[in-house]
Amino acid sequence: MRKRRAWIGVAVALAVSAALLFGGSVRGPSGHSLRVAAIAGQAQAANDQGSLGQLLAGFSTGDTAKFVAGLERRVRLHPHDGETLTLLGLAYQQRARETGDPTYYGLSGLALSRAGRHDAPTALLAQAEASLANARHRFRTGLALARRAVRLDRYNASAFGALGDALLNLGRYHAAFAAYDRMAVLAPGIAGFARVANARELTGHPEAAIAALQLALESDSTVPEQVAWTQVQLGNVRFNHGELDAAAGAYRAALRRFPGYVHAQAGLARVAAARGRHAVATRMLEHVIGVLPLPAYVIMLGDVRHAAGDQAGARREYRLVQAIERLFEANGVRTELQTALFDLDHGRHVRAALARARAAYASAPGVYAEDALAWGLFRTRNCAAARAHSIRALRLGTRDALLIFHGGMIERCLGNRAAGDAFLRRALATNPGFSLLWAPVARRLLR
């Protein structure tokens, strides 16, 4: 616990390093002439693809911290090198994903801002800025930036990935899926096929999602962390449909590819918890959070402690969740959806949580934000309004047991017990261990 709290303090301090790296000064535009910008535009496709290749080569060793340090040294020697600054911005985003430290997003933003001042606009820079906006859950900004990247280079696969991510979270699914298809055609590899897999699972086709993830693993093995991440996604699809043995196998495969990978360890902890092995899950999650204190993993540990009867321990973890989420907010990450669901699930500040769910839905009206709004309306006993949003949340045919459970509880709230129980049975059939909090409730109501 002390280690985790120390990490939060260190993460706050890391934000200061931006001033050291970038000198703390603000400069105006670099003053490139239109002719130079035009020449840069003609050459950008080749340059962008070469830059992406350089980035992947840097990550291929699995030591991204060393690669980032090398880019930082290069920036200090060549402070006006826009390409290196752009690569550094992207590398910081990768480090944020690997470490769970949101201050890397701030560093990425500073690097990309400087790149824009010292170089002509490129598709790579716009795509990097779009990816950062999406990572911060600012999807309307991400959409505008991704569209700029696509305009600059119609063959930049990563730009189509960022475009699809923004559209998906904004609830514009047909356009998002088209962007993902285009990405997979331009660059058949993990990034494209994993997005196709996500789209397939979202539309209720888990076996097709598994096929896409397996194709991703067959087509791309460049970056060890990305291969392990894909194995974890495969495990998550299996877990989401109650296939615990297959899920555990995928998580172990991720650990073989990238030893110590905490997302895979968290997956194995979730399998242990679903099997009722709370002590094992607790030990595993304590290790995971010591390395990577993401809110989702701290919530999972709190819920495991709650399921094991350790209510004081659960409350301790839930307090830590709030501290970590404040850190994310301080680094520009919108957290309304995550904090609303956490509070609604745990009966905390329910009306304020509903207001946050409304804000999340207004900013990014995808099916999961719609479901959160439905759940908030249910928890405040406005079940008629909740039902309308729950129906829309399930409109894609998503086979997510938690969304289905929410629909069942809303139907029962309206007095439609037969329909509600049908939803609850369907949720448990989809995944008997879909939630440590709510799967036991579903089983109890069906007795």
Query: Three-state SS across 79-106?
Result: CCCHHHHHHHHHHHHHHHHHHCCCHHHH
What local confidence, expressed as pLDDT, does residue 390 receive?
98
Q: CA-CA distance, 419 to 411, in Å (whole number)?
A: 6
Grade residue 23 by pLDDT with cuts at 50, 70 and 90.
Answer: very low
Residues 6 or more apart whose CB falls under 8 angstroms from that of 183 comprise 157, 158, 160, 161, 164, 191, 192, 195
What local confidence, expressed as pLDDT, does residue 54 receive?
54
Which DSSP helix (H) or strand (E) runs through 54? helix 34-59
Residue 58 lies in a domain: yes
Residues 6 or more apart whose CB falls under 8 angstroms from that of 152 comprise 41, 44, 121, 122, 123, 126, 159
Indicate if the pLDDT at residue 5 is higher than 80.
Answer: no
What local confidence, expressed as pLDDT, does residue 225 receive?
83
Closest CA to 114 of 150, 72, 149, 145: 72
Token pair of 181 as six digits:
């298809």
Residue 102 lies in a domain: yes
Closest CA to 360 of 388, 334, 380, 382: 334
CATH code (residue 411):
1.25.40.10
Residue 244 lies in a domain: no
Residue 70 lies in a domain: yes
What local confidence, expressed as pLDDT, does residue 6 receive?
39
Closest CA to 156 of 182, 130, 132: 182
What local confidence, expressed as pLDDT, does residue 29 receive?
32
- Which residue segment(s) compose the domain that 397 sits in? 334-447
Indicate if the pLDDT at residue 47 is higher than 80.
Answer: no
Alpha helices in 308-416 (DSSP H): 311-330, 336-345, 350-363, 367-379, 383-393, 401-413
**49 vs 120, more confident:** 120
Residue-wise pLDDT for 205-250, tens only, equals 999 999 999 999 998 777 788 899 999 999 999 999 999 999 999 9
Indicate if the pLDDT at residue 40 is higher than 50.
Answer: no
What local confidence, expressed as pLDDT, does residue 42 receive?
34
Residue-wise pLDDT for 307-350, tens only, equals 999 999 999 999 998 888 888 888 888 889 999 999 999 999 99
Q: Which of 52-56, 116-120, 154-158, 238-242 has the lowest mean pLDDT?
A: 52-56
Give the residue from 122, 151, 180 where a domain finishes.
151
- Asked whether the beta carbons of 93 and 104 are under 8 A apart, the reply is yes
Which amino acid, one-letter code, is at 417?
A: R
- Asked whether the beta carbons of 378 and 413 are under 8 A apart, the reply is yes
Give the residue from 151, 180, 215 where a domain finishes.
151
Give the residue from 120, 151, 182 where a domain finishes.
151
Indicate if the pLDDT at residue 39 is higher than 60.
Answer: no
Token pair of 116 as six digits:
């824009």
Number of domains in the chain: 2
CATH code (residue 142):
1.25.40
Residue-wise pLDDT for 103-142, tens only, equals 999 999 999 999 999 877 789 999 999 999 999 999 999 9
- Asked whether the beta carbons of 344 and 350 are under 8 A apart, the reply is yes
Residue 269 lies in a domain: no
| Terminal Cα-to-Cα distance of the chain (whole angstroms) | 39
- State phi, psi for 85 to the nearest 5 degrees: -60, -40
Residue 280 lies in a domain: no
What local confidence, expressed as pLDDT, does residue 57 receive?
55
Torsion of CA 305, 283, 280, 99, to 10 degrees: 100
Residues 6 or more apart whose CB falls under 8 angstroms from that of 431 comprise 239, 240, 241, 242, 401
- Asked whether the beta carbons of 393 and 374 are under 8 A apart, the reply is yes
Q: What average pLDDT does the segment 276-290 reach?
A: 96
- Asked whether the beta carbons of 324 and 293 are under 8 A apart, the reply is yes
Q: CA-CA distance, 21 to 417, in Å (whole number)?
A: 61
Residue 94 lies in a domain: yes
Residue 146 lies in a domain: yes
Q: What average pLDDT does the segment 175-186 reach?
A: 96
